[in-house]
Amino acid sequence: MFGSLTALPADPILGLLAKYREDANPNKIDLGVGVYKNEAGHTAVLDCVKSAEKHRLDTEDSKVYIGPTGSALFNEEMAKLIFGHHKVLLENRARTVSAPGGTGALRVAAEFISSCKTGATIWVSNPTWANHSGVFQAAGLNVKTYPYYDYENKTLDFDGMLAALKTVKPDDTVLLHACCHNPSGMDLTNEQWQQVAEVAKDVGFLPLIDMAYQGFGEGLDQDAYGLRLMADSVKEMIVCSSCSKNFGLYRERIGACTIIAENAASADIANSVLLSVIRCIYSMPPAHGAAVVETILHSDELRTQWHQELKTMRDRINGNRQLLVDKLVENGVSRDFSFIPRQKGMFSFLGITPEQVQQLQSEYSIYMVGSSRISIAGIAKSNVDYLAKSIAKVL
Ordered domains of the chain (ranges, CATH): 10-44+315-394 (3.90.1150.10), 65-298 (3.40.640.10)
* Positions marked catalytic: 129, 210, 245
Q: Which residue has the higher pLDDT, 33 or 212?
A: 212
pLDDT tens profile 162-189: 999 999 999 999 999 999 999 999 999 9
Residue 33 pLDDT > 90:
no
pTM of the model: 0.96
For the chain, the average pLDDT equals 96
| Class of residue 225 by CB neighbours under 10 A (exposed 0-12, middle 13-18, buried 19+) | buried
Confidence (pLDDT) at 266: 98
Residues above pLDDT 70, as percent of the chain: 100
* Mean pLDDT to the nearest integer, 366-379: 95
Share of the chain above pLDDT 90, in %: 97
- State the pLDDT at residue 18: 87
Q: How far apart are CA 35 and CA 31, in angstroms?
A: 10
